[in-house]
């Protein structure tokens, strides 16, 4: 994984954690958990370009 993609994933994970924390504090459980499958999809696409 190259550096720009790694930085992008770190930013996405940080934003997801902040959003989930905010949504849970508002009592929105479904919205808080909706972010994590999107992060998994982003990780899979980031790893797709890497050769084994």
pLDDT (tens digit per residue) in 24-46: 999 999 988 998 888 888 888 77
Give the predicted TM-score (pTM) of the model: 0.71
Q: How far is residue 6's CA from residue 16's CA, in Å, rounded to a whole number?
A: 15
pLDDT(49) > 80: no
Report domain extents, the chain. Answer: 3-48
Q: Mean pLDDT, to the nearest integer, of 5-24?
A: 90
Who contacts 19 (Cβ-Cβ below 8 Å, separation ≥6)?
Answer: 32, 35
| Other CB atoms within 10 Å distance of the CB of residue 20 | 18
pLDDT score at 21: 94
């Amino acid at each position: 994984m190259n550096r720009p993609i790694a930085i992008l994933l770190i930013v996405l994970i940080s934003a997801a954690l902040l959003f989930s924390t905010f949504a849970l504090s508002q009592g929105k459980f479904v919205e808080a958990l909706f972010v994590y499958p999107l992060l998994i999809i982003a990780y899979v696409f980031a790893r797709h370009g890497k050769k084994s």
